[in-house]
Amino acid sequence: MKKAIILPLLASIIISVNNPVTGQTKPKAPVKPAKPAAAAVITPAPITDPILMTIGGESIPKSEFERVYRKNNKDSVYTESAIREYLDLYVNYKLKVKEAEAMKLDTSESFQTELAGYRKQLAQPYLTDKNVSEQLVREAYDRLNKDVRASHILIKLNPDALPKDTIAVYNRLLKIREQILKGTDFAKVARDSSEDPSAKDNGGDLGYFTGMQMVYPFETVAYTTKPGQISMPVRTRFGFHIIKTIDIRPAQGEVHAAHIMVRLPKDANDSVIADAEGKIKKALAELKAGQPWDSVVTKYSEDKGSAKKGGELPWFGTGRMVPEFEKAAFALKADGEYSDIVKTSYGWHIIKRLEKRGVASFDEKKGELRQMISRDSRNESSRTSMVNKIKAEYKFKEVPKAKDELIAILDTTLSNGDWDLTKADKFNKNLFSLTDSKGVVKNYTQQNFATYISTHQTKRSGSNPQVIGYSMYDQWNQDECLAYEEARLDGKYVDFKNLMKEYRDGILLFDLTDKMVWSKAVKDTDGLQTYYDNNKNNYLWGERCEATTYSFPNDEVANNFRKLLKKGKKSVDEIMTEINKTNTNGVTKREGKYTHGENEVIEKTGWKTGMSENIKFLSQTYIVDMHKILPVTPKTLEETKGAITADFQTYLEKEWISSLRNKYPVQINNDILQSIWKK
């Protein structure tokens, strides 16, 4: 069983845990300890949040128990029986965690590493600006409802380029833009000037695309530039672009299609082209003559992947297929309709529409969009906004001179990815500081940043080391601000604090229960054998019979078998061999032990020993030789290994809980307990 499944849910930890050894689920209340009424009573303390119980001296307030109860009981049934039953389970859970702490399992390196990993995941929602994130989701959805056709001209630029090189490229694109505004054809200029290799063929025309298909800065400019206009230069990770928005139309949605394809190699000669074209024409002619689509696909299509499924392709929308294919697929008016011959750069196609649908609703799409945005560069705006809030809250103060001083010593070894940390040995000035609500200042030094550079450097051949340094500083600065905030989440957000406690306790519970119960039950073979010996009468076979069943194709073969058997001149196996020589479907036999109701043919004998009459069942004839009736007897350990192991685990847990209750006295404040169900 994976920890990741149970850790987020205390219900899975307390109420039922899927056993990783046997695969079985423990009963809802595997152990029924003495009712709380039998425990010692404590006097409630005169505080706002009264103490419900103490376990081994640890006080547990009423609010903590109620919070966990509400979380794991969605219907929140506040009856005495429900509360008491859950209290038993909760106490057992707390006892196990307390024992894990006493064993110092929470101090092990593996535990700390695992918990830190979960913390990183749980902290993420608290380290982004939710307003910005939701705006990005809404913006992405709005753009999915529109398709944009745009052309562009690209001048490539390394992300680590020097300012002078950046300005040079920017100015170069300004001149190109001015040339187009004066009347030069955009496509011609794109073919002559663009460093996008596809521009030689398409004149910079990217066709239609929709939201989440382009890098964010490019997408934003394309959507916000009016059709017919040309944008100012915009920078992406590829370089600088100028963009001409040609058209914005309502989204055409998605289509589910199938196709028949005849491939056409790029270097095909006239003979190959003629053969391919002739083949696709034959396919179309057969379809028009009424031949089934699937049979024509099987006969002609050279797209082997889709041909196995009747030519079926995955759903696709704008910008996912080559323009000719996309246009033809969306032009089909009805499900089941197929196109004329369509030529693309891959060959010839006949396209059949299977289904068509519009853009899903916002509620249906928002979860997927959140996931996509979390992996997209546009998520940086949410991160940046959050960092700015952190800086404002914690009185961020920076020393630019100290930053410039350290970055100035960076050399080409950083570009090569082997910069030596010792070069910054003498640099110890503060770079920036954060101050918490209590006035405690945390300083981040040049040495801290130098260490970050040393451990995060990568080879960036040709990049300027100072540009790399400033970029790395910005990243480090953001990372440290977010880490500063993460370290304070427990004190700022009760929900986060509680969730972290659940994960912490869950890891401890899982590890210790595995050690004391699950794995122990498998490894302790002597203990398992003793448990079986003491309880084997709980694992009984019911009355069984020992029988041999013979099956025949009909009564004639069965009667012949019976006749030869009565003569007693040959053994059963010899008789079967003789019959099967002349009968393709002759006689077969099966020996075994059977319980009542297990075998329908056996049941028809009335459980009488000896050779039965002919029995007709499912077009076959059977004869059953009932050898003997076996009395009720215990199953062997191997025969009931799964059930015995599960019950042994339950026994081990019960004994363990009993010892823990002796080790850590449990005291319940019954007045406070009763106040929970008397609301």
Closest to 190 measured CA to CA, from 174, 204, 177, 170: 204
Domain boundaries, the chain: 1-102+494-539+638-662+671-679, 146-250, 257-357, 394-490, 543-631
Measured CA to CA, the distance from residue 135 to residue 219 in angstroms comes to 16
pLDDT score, position 679: 60
Residue pair 9/508 in contact (Cβ under 8 Å)? The answer is: no
Residue pair 163/396 in contact (Cβ under 8 Å)? The answer is: no
301: which 2 tokens?
Answer: 């299509």
pLDDT, tens digit, 9 for 90 and up, residues 387-405: 999 999 999 999 999 999 9
Q: What SS3 state is found at 244?
A: strand
* H helices present in 194-234, as ranges: 199-202, 216-224
User: Within the chain, which residues score under 70 in pLDDT?
Assistant: 1-47, 76, 679
Sign of the CA dihedral 397, 401, 402, 407? positive
CATH 3.90.1150.10 fits 146-250, yes or no: no
Measured CA to CA, the distance from residue 68 to residue 336 in angstroms comes to 55
Closest to 87 measured CA to CA, from 59, 52, 44, 57: 52
Quote the DSSP letter at residue 423: G
CB within 8 A of 352, min separation 6: which ones?
257, 258, 259, 293, 311, 332, 336, 337, 338, 339
Q: Do the domains 257-357 and 146-250 match in fold?
A: yes
Measured CA to CA, the distance from residue 146 to residue 269 in angstroms comes to 41
Amino acid at 601: V
CB within 8 A of 67, min separation 6: which ones?
498
Sign of the CA dihedral 260, 262, 263, 267? negative
DSSP letters spanning 277-344: HHHHHHHHHHHHTT--HHHHHHHH---HHHHTTTTB---EETTSS-HHHHHHHHH--STT-B-S-EEE
State the fold for domain 543-631.
Chitinase A; domain 3 (3.10.50)
Closest to 141 measured CA to CA, from 359, 304, 295, 323: 359
Tell me how far the alpha carbon of residue 113 is from its chain's centroid: 21
pLDDT score, position 35: 32
**Burial class of residue 552 (count of CB atoms within 10 Å of its CB; 0-12, 13-18, 19+):** buried
State the fold for domain 257-357.
Chitinase A; domain 3 (3.10.50)
Measured CA to CA, the distance from residue 304 to residue 149 in angstroms comes to 32
CB within 8 A of 374, min separation 6: which ones?
none
Measured CA to CA, the distance from residue 157 to residue 153 in angstroms comes to 13
Tell me how far the alpha carbon of residue 440 is from its chain's centroid: 41
pLDDT score, position 98: 95
Instruction: Tell me the pTM.
Output: 0.71
pLDDT score, position 162: 87
DSSP letters spanning 225-242: SPTT-BPPPEEETTEEEE
Q: C-alpha angle 642/647/648, rounded to 5°?
A: 95
Measured CA to CA, the distance from residue 401 to residue 429 in angstroms comes to 10
Measured CA to CA, the distance from residue 9 to residue 1 in angstroms comes to 14
Q: What SS3 state is found at 364?
A: helix
Q: What is the C-alpha radius of gyration for the chain, rounded to an integer number of angstroms?
A: 38
Tokens 């695969």 -> residue: 23
Please, what's the b/e burial string for 317-330 (b: 16 or more CB within 10 A of its CB; e: otherwise)? bbbbbebebbebbb
213: which 2 tokens?
Answer: 């298909």
2: which 2 tokens?
Answer: 């994976």
288: which 2 tokens?
Answer: 């028009």
pLDDT, tens digit, 9 for 90 and up, residues 93-106: 999 999 999 999 99
